[in-house]
Amino acid sequence: MKAAVFQGTEHIEIKDWEAPAVGSKEVKLRVKCCGICGTDQHIYHGYPGSAEVTAPIVLGHELAGEIVAVGDEVTTLQVGDRVSVDPNIYCGNCYFCRNGKVHLCDNLQAVGVTRDGGMGEYCVVPVANCYLLPDEMSWIEGAMIEPLGCVLHGYKKLDIRKAHQVLIIGGGFIGQLFLQLVKAAGVKGIIVSEPEVFKHDRLVELGADEAVSPAAEGVMEALHHQFDIVIECVGRADSMELAVKASRKGGQVLMFGVASPDTLIQVSPFEIFTKELNIMGSFINPYTHEESIALIEKGIVQIESLISHQFSLKDIPEIMGEYPKLRVSKGIIVHER
């Protein structure tokens, strides 16, 4: 098969690549669609993903496809089934797995991170990680179940109430998913801070009461101490520092954006103390696939209108290096057939 193989920092090649044999509890997929995640960009530039990456490997952990082969012990799915993949594989034996926090597994493995993923024509995955897609759901929606599941995990950490004022920092794909979930909760008000002004009208269409540019005069100061909930979706030091400053007393701050490991922020412990802030992180997507499928199926969350770029597999070596310049909100690989 053809695959975009990560060979090391800032080096991906299209190669003839052999898919592994299908294990007894595994299935082989013909990949139909694969998302390009910010984590893929982190890995490309030499940082770890959800787990340590060892090259050469096929990246791509947001994927959906058609089953073309099943292992001897597979009874729940069959050839021809359309599935979305939860990439995360937990050991079941470590402290965290045995205490209900599987996503913090000490031995976490993941499709597209520690084993070959969706940036190839075929992919072999555990049957336990496959979720059947409704017939009417598109391949694009199926591949985007994974990032929606990550967002849903973070969303569930928040105590959201009707009277709350919410600030979402970052109006890209992840911020747009959070926006739709928060809007569905019926909160009092939602503001999105997004520097790319061309996104503002779309953010209002998706449910924001207002979209503001943090670079505009007076905006940053106007956001301080105003919000019951602040959701940071960027992973930059300045946006994470803003998240703390923007929260009012008793506020909740969700740090969702993936920062580089060497990023540090300056936060006043006195401010956390006097505001009695609840600051939370959110990591991957433990068992959120079924609910995410339902959110799309019921029309609560839109997906396809959020996709800004579609690429073919052969484009990957070039576009991964140029990604920051392309102004991609969300990019996907549509596999040619």
Q: pLDDT tens digits for 234-281?
A: 999 999 999 999 999 999 999 999 998 899 999 999 999 999 999 999
> What's the whole-number average pLDDT of the chain?
96
Above 90 in pLDDT, residue 131? yes
pLDDT at 291: 98
Parallel, antiparallel or unpaired: strands 247-255 and 278-281: parallel
For 25, 87, 230, the CA distances from 40, given in Å and listed in that order, are 27, 13, 26
Q: Which two tokens stand for residue 119?
A: 């940036």
129 falls in which pLDDT band (50, 70, 90)?
very high
The rounded distance, in Å, linking the Cα atoms of 146 and 92 is 21
At 277, the amino acid letter reads: L
Alpha carbons within 13 angstroms on the beta-carbon side of residue 335 total 25
The rounded distance, in Å, linking the Cα atoms of 313 and 119 is 7
Q: Which two tokens stand for residue 123?
A: 């992919």
- Decide: residue 80, CB within 10 A, 0-12 exposed, 13-18 middle, 19+ buried: exposed
The rounded distance, in Å, linking the Cα atoms of 88 and 336 is 26
Radius of gyration of the chain (CA): 20
Above 60 in pLDDT, residue 337? no
Above 70 in pLDDT, residue 336? no
User: Considering only CA atoms, which of 284, 303, 283, 294 is closest in space to residue 131?
Assistant: 294
CB 209 within 8 A of CB 189: yes
Q: pLDDT tens digits for 172-206?
A: 999 999 999 999 999 999 999 999 999 999 999 99
Residues 6+ apart with CB under 8 A from 160: 166, 182, 185, 187, 229
Active centre residues (catalytic): 39, 42
Above 60 in pLDDT, residue 38? yes
Arithmetic mean of pLDDT, 277-302: 97
CB 237 within 8 A of CB 255: no
Which residue intervals of 156-236 are DSSP H helices? Answer: 173-184, 200-206, 219-223
Which residue intervals of 6-100 are DSSP H helices? Answer: 38-44
User: Considering only CA atoms, which of 335, 323, 309 is closest in space to residue 3?
Assistant: 335
The backbone torsions φ and ψ at residue 108, rounded to the nearest 5 degrees and listed phi first, read: -60, 130
The rounded distance, in Å, linking the Cα atoms of 250 and 277 is 5
- Decide: residue 57, CB within 10 A, 0-12 exposed, 13-18 middle, 19+ buried: buried
Mutual orientation of helices 145-155 and 173-184 as an angle, nearest 10°? 50
Arithmetic mean of pLDDT, 113-132: 98
Arithmetic mean of pLDDT, 85-106: 98
Arithmetic mean of pLDDT, 126-135: 98
Beta bridge partners of 211: 192
User: Considering only CA atoms, which of 327, 304, 142, 150 is closest in space to residue 231?
Assistant: 150
- Spacing of C-alpha 328 from chain mean position: 14
The rounded distance, in Å, linking the Cα atoms of 213 and 91 is 44
- Degrees to nearest 5, angle at CA 192 with 188 and 194: 175
pLDDT at 49: 82
Q: Is 112 left (phi over 0), alpha (psi -120 to 50) or beta?
A: left
At 233, the amino acid letter reads: C
The rounded distance, in Å, linking the Cα atoms of 320 and 31 is 19
- % of the chain exceeding 70 in pLDDT: 99
